[in-house]
Structure 1
């Protein structure tokens, strides 16, 4: 069974001196970009059954704004486990996704989310922006992968990139 995995880096965040990293909110540009992520996913006919979101404020805000653009977006599973998780830690989160889910999104941070996207890519994608994804994973990046088989069996090089964009609103 083919599954869809969506990896999202949060939208552009503010850098205030009086707030710790975990509490940083989206900047104006981020508040414009996050809904564009949802609109792009909708235009690609990507649905999300499960959303795992970092506990950082900027990732939660990103998900709220993009989810408002999707039909039937699920309530997020918010967890500290995604906050600055490494690519390996994020891969374990993918492997632990509910087996009945055929689509899932993870909203996280660099460098982990970008490294995971590049690690999962099987190298056989026809997506024009594959080279752009490999060169970096800026804020509001969205990579959509097709995964054959169970979540628990996902390995590096085991997913096909079927879509990539850097959403800008």
Structure 2
């Protein structure tokens, strides 16, 4: 059994209108929400042992907060440029590359692609993933390479303003 968490990056800053979208940092709320959501996963008993992220600054920064809470070293974070504004098929590409030693993986990316992808995974639907939302599924497989054909089951969804 594998577990997959899809996480939309935390709230980003629009303070510098001329800044390239790729380089936007987290704003103050994003810097609070990311570690809080990582802690909420731990309180739920979810222990991530693999992190995959878009290379955009706001996604990497969000992923780092989750890495810290799960004692994952920076060097062990898997970074894929192709996850920046990725359509659903790029998420599958990233998943098929996850080493089988990872049992619980978290992928950090962007809307609208992440919402489109999670809505393909199970009966559960989400209209628009809020920032720092975690959508989790369980996959009935021992190998990530079997992801596409494996049975997937909705596990939970959580986001900062949910409580």
SS in 2 for 1:52: strand
Unaligned stretches of 5+ residues in structure 1: 124-129
Matches within 5 A, 1:19-168: 19-70=19-70, 72-74=71-73, 75-121=76-122, 123=123, 130=124, 133-149=125-141, 150-155=143-148, 158-168=151-161
Deviation of 1:67 (Å): 2.6
**RMSD value, Cα:** 1.9
TM normalised by structure 2 equals 0.88
Give the whole-Å Cα distance in 2 for the aligned partners of 1:60 and 1:160.
Answer: 27
Match of 1:126 in 2: none
Q: Deviations over 1:102-146 (max 9, x none)?
A: 11110000111111111111x2xxxxxx5xx52221111101111
Where has structure 1 moved over 3 Å in runs of 4 or more? Answer: none
TM normalised by structure 1 equals 0.85
SS in 2 for 1:106: strand
Aligned residues: 158
> 1:120, 1:157 within 8 Å by CA — same for their partners in 2?
no
Deviation of 1:156 (Å): 7.7
Distance change >3 Å, CA 157–CA 21, structure 1 → 2: farther
